[in-house]
Amino acid sequence: MQAQKSIKMTFGKNGSITYDAKNKTIAVSQSGKNIFSGAKTSVVVNGKTISISDYPEAVLSKEAFTDNLGKGTKYILTYKDKNNPTLIQNFFTYNNQSYFITQIEILGNEKQITTNYIAPLDLGKITFDKVENLQTVFVPYDNDAWASYNSKKLDTISNNTSAEVGIVFNNTSRNGFIVGSLEHTVWKSAVKSINKNKEPLFSAWAGFSEKEITRDSIAHGLVRGNKVLSPKFFVGYYSDWRNGMEEYAKTNRIVEKPYVFEWDKPTPVGWNSWGVLMEKINYENTTKVADFFANQIPQFRVGNTAYIDLDSFWDNMVKGGFTGDFSKLKEFADYCKSKGLEPGAYWAPFTDWGWKDGPNRKAEGSDYNFGEMWTKTGNTYFDFDGARAIDPTHPGTLKRVDYVINKLKACGFKMIKIDFLGHAAAESSSFYDKNVTTGMQAYKVGMEHLVNALDGQMLIYAAISPNMATSRYAHIRRIACDAWKTIEQTQYTLNSVNYGWWQTYSYDYIDADHVVFADVTEGENRARLISAIITGTLITGDDYSKEGIWSKRAKEWLQNKELLKIVAHGVAFRPVEGNTGKHTTEVFQQKIENDWYIAVFNYGNEAKSYALPLERLDIQKGSYQIEDLFTSQKSEIKDNTLNVNLGSKDAHLYKIIKR
């Protein structure tokens, strides 16, 4: 087709993308509302920044297509110039979706090109609302180093760079705009929200590397080829930003299908040793924990399964280290099974914790030394969390994975918690596999090999790991970093549920980490328990090898049928508010079948009263009864407002029943 001055491309029921041929910019409107305008494409090829302004007008073509998301029209803008590579911007528009997807292709025209920066939408002006009304969320790249999400007022900052997905919304109306990458096997991506002279802008690009966010000390790796593709980017505007984030997560899972085997069993529940026992685990105390689960809380199950998971230091039960005698560990696994429980183990497969002892230590399962396997970053190595990264593409690393996983499979483990996975995604100046040039390509190699080695025999639980890229490889992912028992740790965990709950749709489950009751107040115990229930699973962590207040509360609470019904549903609750900065909304909600469930938290040191309009909780006006799921007390809801009182450092979970 011939070049045109203005090109309109439609999507969904009422969306349109307008290409301004003179300025070579993109604008989007939806339902008659202008969402953004003025967005350009920019790339860096062979070290040279190329502006779309350097090209003649694009030529448009279009074609019908069908993919896993539906049917639609692919609009293709082709930029050609004799002095530059050909740039193609694709717009995948769907008849029945309220979003579109865009992707850039760079063609070397028979020459190899290298790039580590592609921005499909650069410096677009956000026009759906005033900057004074807008929140923008910092979404971390991973859950390491006690990272927190941060919802910021856009008019009070100059910019906010968010990993993989950018969110800009009005918390009062909940209208929101979302743009985020849908593919994570080659690129790390980012979205920047910008306040420029009270004008809200955004940029979305692939090739993101920033030490404070991605942990990388070097630039993003170069992607090479005669043709290089950016990841696909999701772009959507929603009347409720929470709907948009859930759709973004679901779309991720369709575009980048899980590599891990399909989980068709009930929501996992159980116990993890890192909560209290930590480095003190041994055969005697862990089998006593199994006894507690089998004999004292037999109803704490979803389906017929609960997991007894040994975290780090399970090698306390292995004589002679990883190359030694695993018979006692197998005895533990067999003991759990004899009690009707599933045994679990732990490993950090892409880390070397003994690196300070030098490079010449032999890696288990191969003839390679660890020093040969260390991930190289220029003249040094990738060290973080006290561990040194090992190259996921190195044959020594992969043989070591096979060796350790085969040992755990031989013991009969049915679950594995894998940790410090971000080390496998580190950018490196040189990988062993020369076809791998980016951290995410290396992550794909290592994680696919790990999943293959597990061979469908274990539930895979990811702890510290990249937020988005890990969903291909794990059934469950911990939503935040480590948390134990206090109200402050509960609030920290729930910050990630507040702004990352939507990951419940890109994984089978997300998890709040081990729930520890220990020696804090009943209110703090209740808050910690509810934080796990509303995240979607329930893994406990107390030392149940001995009696204490924790075991008393476990017997009472962990067998509560109403609470277990919510756990069985396995889906994270939604936040009610999104303007809490690094803190956390006090109220979360979810509908299961015909009933609404409302979790209310008081993180403060004083008692507090709450008056919560049903409308803000997304509950239609009507006649309702409220039931406290811990006390079973019921009362009528008056004036379409939920009125509750909470003591200091406490939480309650309520069921709203329509009359």
Give the Å distances, CA to CA, from 185 to 5, 229, 426, 555: 37, 12, 13, 44
Q: Up-side HSE of residue 376: CA atoms within 13 Å toward CB?
A: 13
> For 454-484, what is the HEC assignment?
HCCCCEEEECCCECCHHHHCCCEEECCCCCC
Round to whole Å and give the CA distance between 283 and 332.
6
Mean pLDDT of all residues in the chain? 97
Contact between 588 and 575 under an 8 Å Cβ cutoff? The reply is yes
Q: What integer is the mean pLDDT of 544-564?
A: 97
Percent of the chain with pLDDT over 70: 99
- What is the mean predicted confidence (pLDDT) over 18-46? 96
Alpha-carbon distances, residue 130 vs 36, 38, 176, 201 (angstroms): 12, 17, 12, 11
Question: Taking Cα atoms as reference points, which of 273, 281, 283, 280 lies closest to residue 330?
Answer: 283
Tens of pLDDT, residue by residue over 108-145, are 988 899 999 999 999 999 999 999 999 999 999 999 99
DSSP sequence for 175-186: -EEEEEES--SS
Query: What is the helix (H) or strand (E) element at residue 645, kind and residue range?
Result: strand 641-646
Whether pLDDT at 68 is above 50 = yes
- The mean pLDDT of 441-459, rounded to a whole number, is 98
Distance CA 66, CA 70 (A): 6
Instruction: Give the other-Cβ count within 10 Å of 34's Cβ.
Output: 15
Mark 578-596 as b/e (b = at least 16 C-beta within 10 Å): bebeebbbbbbbbeeeebb
For residue 213, the model assigns a pLDDT of 98
Question: Distance between CA 260 and CA 300 in Å, rounded?
Answer: 27
Who's near 210: CB < 8 A, 6+ residues apart? 161, 190, 216
* The pLDDT value given to residue 5: 80
d(CA 19, CA 6) in angstroms, rounded, equals: 6
Amino acid identity at 353:
W
The whole-angstrom separation of Cα 599 and Cα 574 is 10
Q: What is the pLDDT of residue 33?
A: 94
Which DSSP string corresponds to 131-171? GGGEEEEE--SBS-TT---EEEEGGG-SEEEEESEEEEEET
Distance CA 399, CA 407 (A): 12
Is the confidence at residue 99, as pLDDT, over 50? yes
- pLDDT (0 to 100) of residue 1: 42
Strand locations in 273-331 (E):
307-309
> What is the DSSP-derived secondary structure letter of residue 323?
G
How many CA atoms, within 13 angstroms, populate the side-chain half-sphere of residue 318?
20
The residue-averaged pLDDT of 385-405 equals 98
Task: Summarize pLDDT for 559-608 with one digit per residue, the tens.
Answer: 999 999 999 999 999 999 999 999 999 999 999 999 999 999 999 999 99
Token pair belonging to 208: 């993101």
DSSP secondary structure letter of residue 421 = G
Q: pLDDT value at position 51?
A: 87
pLDDT at 294 over 90: yes
Mean of the pLDDT values across residues 299-306?
95
CA distance 322 to 407: 9
Mean pLDDT over residues 347-371, rounded?
97
Report pLDDT for 121: 98
Q: What is the pLDDT of residues 373-394, one digit of tens each?
A: 999 999 999 999 999 999 999 9
pLDDT at 4 over 80: no
Identify any residues that bridge with 118 across adjacent strands, giving them in sequence order.
43, 206
CB-based contacts of 545, cutoff 8 Å, min separation 6 = 277, 284, 285, 286, 288, 289, 292
Starting at the edge strand found earlier in the chain, the sheet holding 595-602 runs 574-575, 587-592, 595-602, 650-658, 624-628, 634-636
158 CB contacts (<8 Å, ≥6 apart)? 194, 195
Amino acid at 529: L
Burial of 177 from C-beta contacts in 10 A (0-12 / 13-18 / 19+): buried
d(CA 379, CA 387): 17
4-8, 292-296, 650-654: segment of lowest average pLDDT? 4-8
Comparing CA positions, the residue from 472, 557, 567 lying closest to residue 511 is 567
**8 A C-beta contact, residue 152 and residue 166:** no
CB 638 within 8 A of CB 614: no
Distance between terminal CA atoms of the chain? 61
d(CA 373, CA 567): 41
Torsion of CA 558, 529, 340, 450, to 10 degrees: 170
Q: Look at residue 331 and give its three-state secondary structure.
A: helix
CB 170 within 8 Å of CB 133:
yes
- Identify the H or E element spanning 84: strand 84-94
In the numeric block, the tokens 């995410």 are attached to 440
- Domains recognised in the chain with CATH numbers: 6-255 (2.70.98.10), 348-478 (3.20.20.70), 576-658 (2.60.40.1180)
Quick check: 441 pLDDT over 60?
Answer: yes
pLDDT at 464 over 60: yes
